[in-house]
Homo-oligomer: A and B are copies of this chain.
Amino acid sequence: MKQFISVHDAGDVNQLVQEALSVKQTVNHQSHLGKGKTIGLLFLNPSLRTRMSTQRAAYNLGMNVMVVNLDKDSWQMEFEDGAIMNSTKSEHIKEAAGVIAQYCDIVAIRCFPGLVDRDWDYDEIVLNSFLKYCKVPIVSLESATRHPLQSFADMITIAETQQVAKPKVVLTWAPHIKALPQAVPNSFAEWAIATGAAVVITHPEGYELDGQFTEGATIEYNQDKALTGADYVYVKNWSSFADYGAMPEVTGDWLLTEEKMALTNNGKIMHCLPVRRNVELIDALLDGPNSLVQRQAGNRVVAAQTVLKKILETL
């Protein structure tokens, strides 16, 4: 594996998931594959799960880890080609990324979207600048449009628990108090579709995702109808793609409840966390026996370790 920024780097998703399940058997047996190798974990945004699970995965492989909060420890960055740098931005990505590549064997980066300029976000300017100027394997720790390590962990979680060959997987929009990126739903959709699951996406009008991520899924505006017979219900808020970053007014109550879950096929609950309890879904579901959220989080180490292992094998 030469990089890991989307499902397109995963090869055959089901095969990669099987490989992860085998990594999971020995996840905590420290390996020597990464001995003498250093990963840089670069954060332009806050992180808890991603930070800790990726660091743990790297340690499990014997790697050294450098964590840099690029937003706080270092300098503000310029991304525009040809810029006259007379503003608050002290360093151009060309220099920063080129330099970092010389200090790390692998670079992993978190760069959220601004949710203001859709082209800027969907062109993945930050991530692509690193891909261009940082000449070592790049791993996304969630970029403007995707969160592939999360989605990979989600697929591992489904594979571990699925009781039918082609489960019905429903991605349902949930309420929230502020505008969130589309990265998690985009990414979940493309990964779930790639596994061959029957993917249904349900959300209010105005919250359609970018079609490039949802090809092969069914879009169903009626939440009840979508949930009916579901084996997995992935709960997630996101802001509008069409009216970019906005939160168009919503008709009906999208809070996920036990009544709604009664429509499912004893459906399992999934969420990438952090979750707004009793805003997105109710406590009873999160704390109930069908909740997979902690298992998903645990599988973040497995996903990261599988990816790092496959990259280390090519170094």
Closest to A78 in B: B277
Contact B56–A99 (Cβ < 8 Å): no
State whether the Cβ of A251 lies closer than 8 Å to any Cβ in chain B.
no
Chain B hits for A286, CB < 8 A: 94-95
Contact A74–B48 (Cβ < 8 Å): yes
A35 and B40 contact, Cβ closer than 8 Å, known pairs A48-B74, A278-B83: no
The 9 sampled A-B contact pairs (Cβ below 8 Å) are A46-B73, A51-B73, A52-B66, A52-B99, A52-B104, A82-B278, A83-B278, A84-B279, A95-B286
Chain A 40-87 interface residues, beta-carbon cutoff 8 Å to B:
40, 43, 46-49, 51-53, 55-56, 59-60, 64, 66, 68-70, 72-75, 78, 82-87
> How many residues of chain A get a CB closer than 8 Å to chain B's CBs?
63
State whether the Cβ of A100 lies closer than 8 Å to any Cβ in chain B.
yes
A74 and B46 contact, Cβ closer than 8 Å, known pairs A66-B56, A103-B52: yes
State whether the Cβ of A301 lies closer than 8 Å to any Cβ in chain B.
yes
Chain B hits for A40, CB < 8 A: 52
Chain B hits for A46, CB < 8 A: 73-75
A-B CB proximity, top 8 nearest: A91-B274, A30-B36, A48-B74, A102-B298, A85-B276, A59-B64, A99-B297, A84-B278
Chain B hits for A86, CB < 8 A: 177, 276, 279
State whether the Cβ of A38 lies closer than 8 Å to any Cβ in chain B.
yes
A292 vs B11: C-alpha distance when bound (angstroms): 38
Contact A48–B64 (Cβ < 8 Å): no
Chain B hits for A47, CB < 8 A: 73-74
State whether the Cβ of A250 lies closer than 8 Å to any Cβ in chain B.
no
A73 and B275 contact, Cβ closer than 8 Å, known pairs A36-B28, A82-B283: no
Chain B hits for A276, CB < 8 A: 85-86, 90
User: A interface vs B, CB < 8 Å?
Assistant: 28-30, 35-36, 38, 40, 43, 46-49, 51-53, 55-56, 59-60, 64, 66, 68-70, 72-75, 78, 82-87, 90-92, 94-96, 98-100, 102-104, 177, 273-279, 283, 286-287, 293-294, 297-298, 301
Contact B85–A56 (Cβ < 8 Å): no
Chain B hits for A177, CB < 8 A: 86-87
Closest to A70 in B: B48
A75 and B294 contact, Cβ closer than 8 Å, known pairs A51-B68, A64-B59: no
A300 vs B63: C-alpha distance when bound (angstroms): 21
A56 and B95 contact, Cβ closer than 8 Å, known pairs A276-B85, A277-B78, A279-B86: no
**Considering residues A78, A273, A275, A277, which has the most beta carbons from chain B within 10 angstroms of its beta carbon?**
A277
